[in-house]
Amino acid sequence: MTTRIDRRMAKLKAEGRPALVTYFMGGDPDYDTSLSIMKALPGAGSDIIELGMPFSDPMADGPAIQAAGLRALKGGQTLVKTLRMASEFRAGDNETPIVLMGYYNPIYIYGVDRFLRDALASGIDGLIVVDLPPEMDEELCIPALKAGINFIRLATPTTDDKRLPKVLQNTSGFVYYVSMTGITGSALADTGKVAAAVGRIKSHTDLPVCVGFGVKTAEQARVIGANADGVVVGTAIVNAVANVLGPKGEKTADPAEAVATLVSGLSQGVRAARLAAAE
């Protein structure tokens, strides 16, 4: 069976360009604003949406996404509301894939079976759960696959050739290559090394490989997109929201517009990626 992610990736492959995958934090700075950001993403050029589920203890995230999660939680965001946000978005867009990204505990407390049922009903296509490595596949990965939801795994520079098959085994949708060891929002790694790593992963799988961690500009998106099947941008988007919030959290400009402007630029980058590569 195919998911919206599979269909979108196949379509982009036919068009000969990489996907722009955009992460934003659900509920940051509040539910309504966040939903308006989500709705603005496809029009600005986002091909796949990663909807962040805030968690009190985001151990793999840098200061920007930590702060975004805290703003969302302070604004009253819960997993129930994040799922509602997805289904409100879905009412107006039945094509753009939505991937939920976050940590396991809120899902575990929600209840895995109930979560998968409600996620499907909300139009969720994939999951990225940072603290569930393949060793813990019985927890959520296998039930999600059975339910028809893609489980997208992170591969990292520490995932060597020996381990890669284990990481890829139950992965579907795409592989998310983390360009460096570290937390989200750090500086982009050497792009030559990233290209080599993408090639290495592709020699093990037919799945699309998207690259994230550290991509902030259209130029970086273009360079990474020359080899990868997709480019993930997160911290830069979260920062675009933070930049239009005043010291007390008041909005100094429209966050959805700020995000759309950034994403349009990034989208030019991924659209130029293969043109440049072909030159």
Q: Which residues are catalytic?
A: 50, 61
Please name every residue paired with 251 in a beta bridge, in sequence order, or none if there are none.
245
Q: For residues 34 and 24, what is the distance between their CA atoms, to the nearest angstrom?
A: 8
Nearest-approach distance from CB 139 to other proteins, in angstroms? 8
Taking alpha carbons only, the member of 12, 16, 22 closest to residue 215 is 22
Radius of gyration of the CA atoms of the chain, in A: 17
Residue 73 beta carbon to other proteins: minimum distance, rounded to whole angstroms = 6
Minimum Å gap between C-beta 96 and other proteins is 26
Least distance in angstroms from the C-beta of 59 to other proteins: 5
The token duo for 218 is 């259209």
Return residues touching other proteins (CB under 8 A). 55-62, 66, 73, 78-80, 103-110, 130-136, 153-160, 163, 167, 178, 181-183, 186
The distance of closest approach from Cβ of residue 32 to other proteins in the complex, given in angstroms and rounded to an integer, is: 19
Q: What is each CA distance from 102 to 121, 127, 218, in whole angstroms?
A: 19, 8, 25
Q: Which is nearer to other proteins, 70 or 277 (CB)?
A: 70
User: Where do we find the tokens 């994230």?
Assistant: 212
> CB-hemisphere CA count at 13 Å for 212?
25
Q: How many helices (H) and strands (E) does the chain have?
A: 12, 9
Of 196 and 253, which CB lies nearer to other proteins in the complex structure? 196
The rounded distance, in Å, linking the Cα atoms of 14 and 26 is: 31
- Nearest C-alpha neighbor of 184 from the set 25, 27, 63: 63
* H or E segment to which residue 184 belongs: none
C-beta closer to other proteins: residue 133 or 265 = 133
Provide the minimum distance between the beta carbon of 80 and other proteins in the complex, in angstroms, as a whole number: 8
Torsion angle, CA of 210/264/129/10, rounded to 10 degrees? -50
Phi, psi angles (nearest 5°) of residue 165? -60, -35
- Please say which residue, 68 or 256, places its beta carbon nearer to other proteins: 68
Which residue number, 24 or 177, has a Cβ lying nearer to other proteins? 177
Minimum CB distance to other proteins smaller for 9 or for 155: 155
Amino acid at residue number 219:
E
Helix axes 79-92, 31-44, angle to 10 degrees: 40
